[in-house]
C-alpha cells in the first residue's frame, strides 16, 4: 500500500472528468484522475453537443471540428402516427462520438501532465480541509479538493448513501452507429411507445442512433432486436431509417437502471460533475454539454479557492448555488417534456399546439440549452 497527495482527485474519465483534469493541470495544479477503463471506448450516448461549450473546449485545446465533428443546425421531431415537425436550433451544435472525443481529451490530459491512474475508486470520503480516496489496488490518496464524475450510477453512490440510488430506476437505453443517408445538419427525435430515439451524424459519415425506453414497455420483449423491430418500427419515420441504414456495430450497446431523480451537486467535500450531479432526459439532447459546463464551473471555483486560499466550504456552497442556477431549470423542463412526449396522446397534442404556435418549440429548446458567451472565446 502506498499513500500519495495531490491538489485535486478526480474520479471518472468521461467528458466531465477529463475536462476538469485538463483545465486544472493546465493551470499548474497536480491532478490525479482515476479511470479503470481504457480509451477509446464507445458509450451509450446521444453524441450531440450544443455550441455553448465551444469556447471552453477551445481553452482546453480541443477542436471538435478538427476531429471530424459535424455541424448541426436543424431539429426534427416525429410521432408514431406519422406527424412530423422541423425547426431551427436557436443555438446550434455538433455531432461527435464519445469514442473520438474522449480519446482526444485523454491524449490532451496526458500532454498537460495529468496523472491517470488505471484503478477504480473503492471509497471516497471527506477529511478535514480535503478529500480522501481508497483505490481498488489498496492505495490511499488525499487532496485539497475532489471532483466526482463517475457517471449515472455507481457503487460509490451506495457508499455515499445518496438518496436517488435507493429508488427504482425505470429506463433502459441503447446506442449504435450506422451507415446510410441522413441529413448531416439535422438532429432528429423519433417518438415511440414509452420512449424516443435520437438520430444525428457524427464523424466519418456515421449516423448515431440512441434510444431510451420505459422498462415497463421494454420488459414485454425478451430480445433487443425484437423490441426495435416492433416498438421503434411502429414510428414510420424511424422504421424507414432503420430499414435504409446498415448498423456497423456487431450489436447495439445497452444500459439499464437509468434514473432521472434529483441528486445533490455536492456530497461532503466532493464536487459532483456531469451525470453524477444530475441526468437530463435525452430528449433535450444536451447531457454532454452539461457535463463539460459543470466541469468548467467546478474548475473556476476551485482555482479561486487555490489562488486566494479560500475556505473549501465556501467554494462548495458557491458551486452548488451556481449548478442549481445553471441546470435546475433544464432538468425541470426535461422532466416536463418527458411526461408529455412519453405518451402518444400527449406528444400528439403537443405537436398540434406547436403547429398552431410555431414559436413554442424554439422557446422550449432555449430552456434546455445554455448560451455562448462570446467574451469567453478562448484561443486554443
Instruction: Read off the C-alpha cell for 166.
Output: 435507493
Please give the torsion angle defined by the CA atoms of residues 245, 251, 256 and 259, in that order, rounded to the nearest 10 degrees. Answer: -30
Which of 51-65, 83-97, 237-251 has the lowest average pLDDT? 83-97
Which of the two residues, 348 and 133, has the higher pLDDT score? 133
| Res. 65 pLDDT band, cuts 50 70 90 | very high
Residue/partner pairs of 125-130 with CB below 8 Å, 24 or more apart = 125/268, 126/268, 126/269, 126/270, 127/269, 129/312, 130/269, 130/312
What is each CA distance from 61 to 40, 47, 55, 92, 100, in whole angstroms?
18, 20, 10, 21, 15
**pTM recorded for the entire structure:** 0.89
Please state the domain extents for the chain: 3-168+259-376
> Regarding the domain delimited by 3-168+259-376, which CATH topology (the fold level of the hierarchy) does it fall under?
FAD/NAD(P)-binding domain (3.50.50)
pLDDT tens track for 294-349: 999 999 999 988 877 678 889 999 999 998 888 877 767 666 666 666 666 666 66
* Predicted local confidence at residue 367, as pLDDT: 56
Residue range 172-212, pLDDT digits in tens: 999 999 999 999 999 998 989 888 899 999 999 999 999 99
The candidate with the shortest Cα–Cα distance to 352, out of 88, 84, 76, 80, is 84
pLDDT band at 377 (very low <50, low <70, confident <90, very high): very low
Give the pLDDT score at 376.
Answer: 39
Confidence of residue 237 (pLDDT cuts 50, 70, 90): very high
Give the least confident one: 85-94, 139-148, 289-298, 339-348.
339-348
Amino acid at each position: 500500500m502506498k499513500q500519495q497527495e495531490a491538489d485535486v482527485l478526480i474520479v471518472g474519465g468521461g467528458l466531465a472528468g477529463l475536462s476538469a483534469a485538463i483545465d486544472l493541470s493546465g493551470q499548474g495544479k497536480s491532478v490525479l484522475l482515476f479511470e479503470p477503463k481504457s480509451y477509446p471506448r464507445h458509450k451509450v450516448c446521444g453524441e450531440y453537443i450544443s455550441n455553448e461549450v465551444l469556447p471552453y473546449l477551445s481553452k482546453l485545446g480541443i477542436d471538435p471540428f478538427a476531429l471530424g465533428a459535424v455541424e448541426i443546425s436543424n431539429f426534427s421531431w416525429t410521432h408514431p402516427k406519422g406527424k412530423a415537425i422541423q425547426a431551427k436550433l436557436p443555438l446550434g451544435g455538433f455531432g461527435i462520438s464519445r469514442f473520438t472525443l474522449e480519446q482526444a481529451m485523454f491524449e490532451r490530459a496526458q500532454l498537460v501532465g495529468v496523472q491517470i491512474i488505471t484503478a477504480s475508486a473503492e471509497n471516497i470520503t471527506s477529511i478535514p480541509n480535503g478529500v480522501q480516496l481508497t483505490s481498488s489496488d489498496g492505495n490511499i490518496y488525499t487532496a485539497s479538493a475532489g471532483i466526482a464524475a463517475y457517471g449515472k450510477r455507481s457503487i460509490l453512490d451506495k457508499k455515499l448513501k445518496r438518496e436517488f440510488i435507493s429508488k427504482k430506476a425505470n429506463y433502459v437505453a441503447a446506442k449504435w452507429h450506422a451507415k446510410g443517408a441522413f441529413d448531416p445538419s439535422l438532429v432528429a427525435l423519433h417518438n415511440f411507445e414509452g420512449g424516443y430515439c435520437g438520430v444525428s451524424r457524427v464523424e466519418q459519415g456515421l449516423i448515431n442512433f440512441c434510444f431510451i425506453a420505459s422498462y415497463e414497455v421494454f420488459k414485454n420483449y425478451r430480445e433487443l432486436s425484437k423490441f426495435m423491430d416492433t416498438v421503434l418500427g411502429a414510428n414510420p419515420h424511424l422504421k424507414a431509417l432503420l430499414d435504409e441504414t446498415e448498423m456497423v456495430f456487431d450489436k447495439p450497446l445497452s444500459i439499464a437502471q437509468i434514473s432521472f431523480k434529483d441528486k445533490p451537486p455536492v456530497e461532503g467535500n466532493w464536487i459532483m460533475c456531469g451525470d453524477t450531479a444530475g441526468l437530463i432526459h435525452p430528449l433535450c439532447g444536451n447531457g454532454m454539454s452539461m457535463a463539460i459546463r459543470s466541469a468548467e464551473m467546478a474548475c473556476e471555483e476551485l482555482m479561486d479557492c487555490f489562488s486566494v486560499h479560500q475556505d473549501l466550504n465556501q467554494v462548495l456552497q458557491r458551486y452548488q448555488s451556481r449548478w442549481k442556477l445553471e441546470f435546475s431549470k433544464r432538468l425541470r423542463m426535461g422532466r416536463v417534456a418527458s411526461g408529455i412526449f412519453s405518451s402518444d396522446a400527449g406528444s400528439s397534442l403537443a405537436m398540434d399546439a406547436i403547429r398552431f404556435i410555431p414559436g413554442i418549440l424554439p422557446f422550449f429548446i432555449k430552456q434546455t440549452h445554455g448560451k455562448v458567451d462570446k467574451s469567453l472565446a478562448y484561443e486554443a
